[in-house]
Amino acid sequence: STKSMLIRSLFSYFHSTTKYGIFTFLPRFLYEQIRRAANAFFLFIALMQQIPDVSPTGRYTTLVPLIFILTVAGIKEIIEDYKRHKADNTVNKKKTTVLRNGAWQTIIWKQVAVGDIVKVTNGQHLPADMVIVSSSEPQAMCYTETSNLDGETNLKIRQGHSLTASVQSVEELMGLAGRLECEGPNRHLYDFTGTLRLDNHNPVPLGPDQVLLRGAQIRNTQWVVGIVVYTGHDSKLMQNSTKAPLKRSNVERVTNMQILVLFCILLVMALVSSIGAAIWNKQHTDEACWYLSRDISLNFWYNLLTFIILYNNLIPISLLVTLEVVKFTQALFINWDMEMYYSETDTPAMARTSNLNEELGQVKYLFSDKTGTLTCNVMHFKKCTIAGITYGNLPSSSNNSTEFDDPALIQNIEKNHPTSPQICEFLTMMAVCHTVVPEREEDQIIYQASSPDEGALVKGAKSLGFVFTARTPHSVIIEAVSLFSYPDVCVWPLAPAMGVGATRATLIAHCSSLGDSLGKENELALIIDGQTLKYALSFEVRQAFLDLALSCKAVICCRVSPLQKSEIVDMVKKHVKAITLAIGDGANDVGMIQTAHVGVGISGNEGMQATNSSDYSIAQFSYLEKLLLVHGAWSYNRVTKCILYCFYKNVVLYIIELWFAFVNGFSGQILFERWCIGLYNVIFTALPPFTLGIFDRPCSQQNMLRFPQLYRITQNADGFNTKVMYVVVTVCLKAGMETTAWTRFSHLAVWGSMVLWMLFFAVYSVIWPHIPIAPDMLGQAGRVMQCWSFWLGLILVPAACLLKDVAWNARTVRKSLLEEVQELEARAVDPGAAVLRDASGRSLNERAHLLTRVFRKTPSSVGRSNSVQQTVSHGYAFSQEEHGVVSQSQVVRSYDTTRQRPSL
């Protein structure tokens, strides 16, 4: 067997993008849960209840529900993380070919070890970082696509050392002997330092141009053989990966603040009750209250703790488990949405976490990658202008077809139009000025291009009769209508990047010119390149750059690094009080996806690294509109109503408990029977918040998409903030009044809960002594039902409590945009027929019409323009020099496609 050139790794390859592991789940999960103020509070109450004779509600009335809530939350997190494990397992179980025991063997990726000789064929992804030994291409060259690493789809050229370029057969590979020395694992994608020491040869240095990185894809190369140097978490891809952050939504942070406010109210209530107990105990002797002697405590602090435990459910313990179920169901709605399902690749939308559903409804700043995310990395030759005449703009099929469709161009060649020589010269340049390599599969020619635009132009020339057929070291061969010589093409020097001084001066000048408009949205766009952005993000001018950027309607950053993408998002996230969303489809977008409040990955042509690191994944950029305007806005509306209702129903219940303390001598007695209190949250008032959180919606999805102004309501958090904070029959009716979309589930929840309470009350009053619980409830239902004051109160109390809400909902003036749309929907009237105006006073119909025109494909005019368009070309926009070990000229002269390539 061959001598190992490296010490084999003790760790097998393993790729992981999950939040939890077997040993890290419990501490990481508990840390995330205890960060929630409600969970921390109830943990404190549960511990206090274990003190003997302190809790008036028993020792386990808080501990058991808390354990149940944490269990439900844990199951949800396990399910969501299991999906991530499945995605990772798909990667880990990919197959590759290694040379072991004198033969090529197929193994899975995680079995690849350092020192293995691996063979990768065209189209396959690399299972580990490896040094090139040889390839099917001349001079051990190969093409690699690194979109999984840096998001770039243009192919990069890598070349093995000439010392091993001829080592291709199994026998030759088995005969290799020596060692390979390299630097330790690091995250620098474009750096590598190593030395190859083969027996009977002088040592040769190795650099990044001899290394293929894990996750990259072999393209335009039949096969390549390499020696593995880094596997698993040592590979540069995994070195650049970060653990999924624990994100919290803005609504959750506001909820935590409200819980703290309620906790302060609880302390005030407990303090008032303790002071009242001290006063009452001082004024009454033991002889006057002999029947309470066992239950009275004269210790102020003991009483304070008792009342804190008594009033603890002022903070709704059922809120957290309700939200977990509601958010999980909302995530399922996103996954099941067929309008966000991409049938061509069988890819549905996926909510990889449900904790941020409502955050989708509050996004104010959107950061989007351009290449791939907006263009899908798909290029088609559709139009061109030759000698002042535009071709390819027919209004019929050209807008929908992926091919150039204009017979006039060929007709002008055949009929010897005055511009015929220019047309032939144009098409000839398209067919020969590139680095595309043609490959034949049976009778078809397959073009292997280093970028989508190169391929599109060569295919476009082919469809017009100028077919690129072969390449040799000194020529290219095309079959064409006619050939003309073509002029030399000169390259566009790039202007040098501005220094920090010039950047500061430019930013300050722009900020000054805006005057009072600085910081407000203007009809301006800011365009900045990566080199200048390096200075703009420096400490000295960062604030000026941020002020200028926030004053523009759009900011375009060109040629920026993954780190710069993340820094821009982080700058806005930290200095602007607004929710940010980042969307991309490549591994170079992972940083900004994880930095933003919400990260969305697109499962496109650049691998799965972005989607595996995202919070939500979609298959097409256009699906983002519905994800935000519909699912985001609905989720925000549902979650906030659910939270507010849970607060409302518990405040109503425990204000009564406080009132009862004033008439029972502040003795800490409970007004409601324990099981009644427990079932109040679990059964009697459980369904309304679920229906609010799952089925309610402000208006239909058609109108949510039609009128984007409705998104501002959730975007500005108008329905949920610290200013919005304000028994069974009352709270159920309140839930009904908050419901805007009445469904069968809403009716069942509201009216069914009331009926359920009555039935429970009747049964619960007769079960003792047949069932040994609640002896103090025996016969109460019969007495209460016969009392006229009960029925009068059942009508008057809810009516009095909800009078303000009824009056507010019945008002006819100063209705908001959402309320007008809701009213018109209820009357089955098209909201577009009403003259609704936005904050700027512009008619909503006009605004919607303009938006429709913006997103609609503009049909081209039937006639062609004969005017010469002023365009300037300074070289190839589609063939860029890599400045690597192999130049472009050397590459195109290394191929002779008329000869058969070596097989392995």
Binding residues: 369-371, 454, 559, 565, 585, 588-589
Which letter does DSSP use for residue 776 in this model? G
β pairing state of 103-108 and 552-558:
unpaired
SS3 of 386, please? strand
CA–CA gap between residue 232 and residue 116 (Å, rounded): 14
Q: Work out whether strand 437-441 and strand 141-145 pair parallel, antiparallel, or are unpaired.
A: unpaired
User: Which residues face 790 on adjacent strands?
Assistant: none
Rounded distance, CA 846 to CA 849, Å?
5
Write the DSSP assignment of 442-488 as a string of letters. TTEEEEE-SSHHHHHHHHHHHHTT-EEEEEETTEEEEE-S-------
DSSP at 684: I
Residues 6+ apart with CB under 8 A from 121: 97, 218, 222, 223
> What length does the chain have?
904
Q: Which residues are catalytic?
A: 369
Q: Give, for 427, the enclosing helix (H) or strand (E).
A: helix 420-432
> Is there a contact between 618 and 600 (Cβ–Cβ < 8 Å)?
yes
What phi-psi label fits residue 255: left (phi over 0), alpha (psi between -120 and 50 degrees) or beta?
alpha
| Nearest alpha carbon to residue 71 among 255, 312, 321 | 321
Which tokens sit at 92? 């880990």
Distances (CA, A) of 203 to 11, 196, 198, 457, 810: 29, 6, 7, 44, 88
Instruction: Tokens 């999924």: give the residue.
Output: 244
The answer, yes or no, to whether the previous bond of 185 is cis (omega within 30 of 0) is: no
Distance (Å, whole) CA 361 – CA 358? 5
**What's at 123, amino acid-wise?**
G
Alpha helices in 36-192 (DSSP H): 37-48, 63-92, 147-150, 170-174
Cβ contact 500:537 at 8 Å: no
Q: How far apart are CA 94 and CA 745, in angstroms?
A: 46
- Which residues are CB-contacts of 125 (< 8 A; sequence separation ≥ 6)? 94, 148, 215, 216, 217, 218
3-state secondary structure of 422: helix
User: What is the Cα–Cα distance from 68 to 317, expressed in whole angstroms?
Assistant: 11
Cα distance between residue 164 and residue 173, in whole Å:
9
Q: Is the dihedral of CA 620, 625, 630, 633 positive or negative?
A: positive
Q: Which of 207, 161, 166 lies closest to 188 in space, CA to CA?
A: 207
- CB atoms under 10 Å from CB of 627, counted, come to 22
Sign of CA dihedral 396, 398, 400, 403: positive
DSSP 281-312: HHHS-TTTTGGGTTT----HHHHHHHHHHHTG
Q: Is the dihedral of CA 321, 327, 331, 336 positive or negative?
A: positive
Nearest CA among 77, 70, 66 for reference residue 246? 77
Annotated binding site for Mg(2+): 369, 371, 585, 589
Phi-psi region of 179 (alpha: psi -120 to 50; beta: other; left: phi over 0): beta
Residue 300 CA to its chain's centroid (Å): 52
